[in-house]
Amino acid sequence: MTDAKTLAYINMYAIFGSLENLCALDSDARALLTNKKPISIGIEVKDGPAATLTFKNGRCRMEDGIAPCDIKLPFSSCEKFNGMIDGTVTPIPSKGFTHIGFLLRDFIKLTDLLSRYLRPEPEDLMDERFFNISTSLMFYTISVAIAQIGNNDEIGKFSAHHMVDGDILLSIKNGPKATISVKNHRLLTIKKAPEKPRALMEFSSMKLARDLFDGKVNSVACVGDGSIAMGGMISMVDNMNRILDLVGLYLA
Amino acid sequence: MAAKKSKKDSVHYNHKKSQEWFKRAVNVIPSGIYGHLGPAEGLWIPPTSWPYFAERAEGSYFWDVDGNKYLDYMCAYGPNVLGYNDPDVNAAAIAQASIANCTTTPSYKMVEFAELMVDTVASADWAFFAKNGNDTTQAAIMCARYHTHKKKIIFVNGFYHGVSMWTQKIDYPGVLPEDVANNLYVDFNDIPALEKLIAENEGEIAAFIATPYMHGNFLDNETPEAGYWQKVRKLCTEKGIVLIVDDVRAGFRLDLAGSDHYYGFEADLICFCKALANGWNVSCLCGKDFLKSAMSGLSYTGSYWMSAIPFAAGIACIEKMKKLNTPALFRDLGTKLTTGLKAAAENNGFDLVVSGEPALFYLRIANDDSLFLHQDWVQEMVSRGIFITSHHNHFINASLTEDDIKYTCEVADEAFKAVRKRHPEAF
């Protein structure tokens, strides 16, 4: 029920893309990049996604495509790239051998930290700071994964085909917000609230969002008791939720 | 029953007991209230403004468990056609209950009801009974496939034909791509697209299934263009495609002879349910003689499909609808109501779009493109005891009075004012 190409897009933009938010939210991640020369990693997947991660002044930014970069990691297929995320494939740079230290030390530390937040141990979640960062990162990862599935997965594309143009506000009350922007049935996630949403779905708290992400509560029951608020063009939210059902399959 | 409350009394209700019942419900029922009668599919925005559970109902009204009274324009999503607890229909049902209901051989009431259906529905040569609308759409598809020995079915985009897997979509939970692999889709009122689709699938199409007009959710409802159904009928006849009309929702509200009759054509198979027995559980598939043999050959039945109480109720319901000429009454009441609502909207600077047939009117505030204003207004109406929805067509029933309509329009005016006050930026 999942396909390698869609998973590659999720791994690139939703997982690696969350490094942006990790560096913004976590001081340990920022510390790894502070007082170091800016460096960029271009990742290019044959018949799949291509993006560049730039680390500069304690921040991380992802841009589409292979810009001039310091390190280039080519992958011959989506499966190979997904294998790197699973830890079964070791990437070999085609450019940037003099920067290999960053790749082997700092970048691995960053991705390990990200994994700790995205696949947390129950005891880590007892710490409020960790809980909030972990839940925020999950939120951004899921938000971006929605767009990748809507644009690439065959069933996800069917759902996107039934969405009208406009911006959906996806948010956690007093927490992170994102825009799922729809145009001509293509989806784009922007990690901030839209100016004028055409539809919205809001989780009432970080705890509720966490419980939903962990499958501990049922979203339909939450709509019933008001802990998930919806409004506007509900057909947009309805179809987004069908894509959201697929997110769990890909991120499992 | 006329509305008794004055404008002064129209206050925001509380739903303490409803919410207590819902908390108990979610412990033992998936999602608390599933389906279209629940807060998620019913789009109760926000849910705290809506009644979760009913206590009793009478005429055009129901009372929730907190004692709040609602003038109900959803009519249980259709079944309430004569008024809740209609004395004539209930008397027939209760009389039958004292004789026999669910028996090893069916009651002769089934024959009487079938004869009445065949006499009433213009295109019907036979009648087949079940319980829900979905039972009849499923039967219609199976009958069409068995008769034609073909696989594919044409649907109109935005359709709803029940809950069987073939009626759902590829992205719905629990549905496999294989379940909907033989589904083809076309827009309503688009004859060139239908011709193209049929040509592309020549010799493979078993049936075309559609509601008599497009009364899908979230969209302005669309009535057929002049000549549309006649062209569909001609195409289906020429290509050996069974023409199925899903009249579950609109049936008997437009025309007691069937909505196909209302629009001037004849379906091969036509599905009825909601308005058939004023809330007593029965549905009916009617069909043409040439499909009777195929229908007889299906392995298709259910434990309660031949229960006699709903047959007795259905007979009484149809006879009363004929006596009252309910389709004409519904058209008149629906037109008066929607005209009044539009005027109330206009007086407050709102553009209220009314679409579909007056008996099943659909509403949308068009001042913004998001439905936020519309959902706010619907909430204000429900909070004041007028039960409407933001996403679905509404229903007129025969017990609705002109006083009820007048009262509804007064409340609508209040509700528009409340929304305007809350959203000054929109005006």
* Domains defined for chain A, CATH in brackets: 4-118 (3.30.1050.10), 130-251 (3.30.1050.10)
CA angle B216, B222, B227 (to 5 degrees): 130
Which chain B residue shows the shortest CA-CA distance from A238? B41
Tell me if B370 and A220 make a contact (CB, 8 A cut-off).
no
Of B30, B43, B171, Cβ closest to residue A242: B171
* pLDDT tens-digit map of A104-137: 899 999 999 999 999 999 999 999 999 999 999 9
**Per DSSP, which regions of A76-212 are E strands?**
166-172, 177-183, 186-190, 199-203
User: What is the least distance, in Å, from the CA of B8 to any CA of chain A?
Assistant: 29
Q: Give B177's contacts in chain A (Cβ within 8 Å).
A: 155
Residues on chain A bordering chain B, Cβ-to-Cβ distance under 8 angstroms? 155-156, 158-159, 166, 197-199, 218, 220-221, 223-226, 229-235, 239, 242-243, 245
The token pair at B177 is 């791509």
Which chain A residue shows the shortest CA-CA distance from B175? A155
Interface test with A, best of B171, B218, B364 (most A CBs within 10 A): B171
pLDDT value at residue B13? 85
Beta bridge partners of B54: B64
Q: In chain B, which residues have pLDDT < 70?
A: 1-12
Q: In chain A, which residues have pLDDT < 50?
A: none
pLDDT value at residue A101? 87
pLDDT value at residue A100? 87
Type of residue numbered B181: A
Tell me if A199 and B370 make a contact (CB, 8 A cut-off).
yes
Tell me if B372 and A226 make a contact (CB, 8 A cut-off).
no
User: What is the least distance, in Å, from the CA of A77 to any CA of chain B?
Assistant: 26
Tell me if B370 and A243 make a contact (CB, 8 A cut-off).
no
* pLDDT tens-digit map of A143-164: 999 999 999 999 999 999 999 9
Residues on chain B bordering chain A, Cβ-to-Cβ distance under 8 angstroms? 19, 22-23, 26, 30-34, 38-40, 43, 45-48, 169-173, 177, 217-218, 369-372, 375, 390-391
User: What is the least distance, in Å, from the CA of B384 to any CA of chain A?
Assistant: 20
pTM, two decimals, is 0.93
Cα–Cα distance, B284 to B266 (Å, whole number) = 17
**In the sheet that B152-156 helps form, which strands lie side by side, from edge to edge?**
B126-130, B283-287, B269-272, B242-246, B205-210, B152-156, B183-186
User: What domains sit in chain B, N to C, each tagged with a CATH number?
Assistant: 7-72+326-426 (3.90.1150.10), 87-324 (3.40.640.10)
Which chain B residue shows the shortest CA-CA distance from A233? B370
User: What is the least distance, in Å, from the CA of A220 to any CA of chain B?
Assistant: 6
Tell me if A229 and B46 make a contact (CB, 8 A cut-off).
yes
Beta bridge partners of A55: A39, A60
pLDDT value at residue B319? 98
CB-based contact B315:B113 (threshold 8 Å): yes
Which chain A residue shows the shortest CA-CA distance from B51? A224
Does the CA dihedral B410-B414-B419-B421 come out positive or negative? positive
pLDDT value at residue B120? 98
Tell me if B45 and A231 make a contact (CB, 8 A cut-off).
yes
The DSSP-derived string for B168-230 is S-TTSTT--GGGGTTEEEE-TT-HHHHHHHHHHTTT-EEEEEE-SSB--TTS--BPPPTTHHH
**Per DSSP, which regions of chain A are E strands?**
39-45, 50-56, 59-64, 71-75, 166-172, 177-183, 186-190, 199-203, 228-232
Q: At how many degrees (to 10) do helices B402-422 and B372-383 cross?
A: 130
Tell me if A198 and B46 make a contact (CB, 8 A cut-off).
no
ipTM (interface predicted TM): 0.90
Contacts of A101 (CB under 8 A, 6+ apart): none
pLDDT value at residue B12? 67
How many CB atoms sit inside 10 A of residue B344's CB? 21
Burial class of residue A128, CB neighbours in 10 A (0-12, 13-18, 19+): exposed
Q: How far apart are the first and last CA of chain A?
A: 12
Q: What is the dihedral of CA A83, A88, A110, A43, to 10 degrees?
A: -40
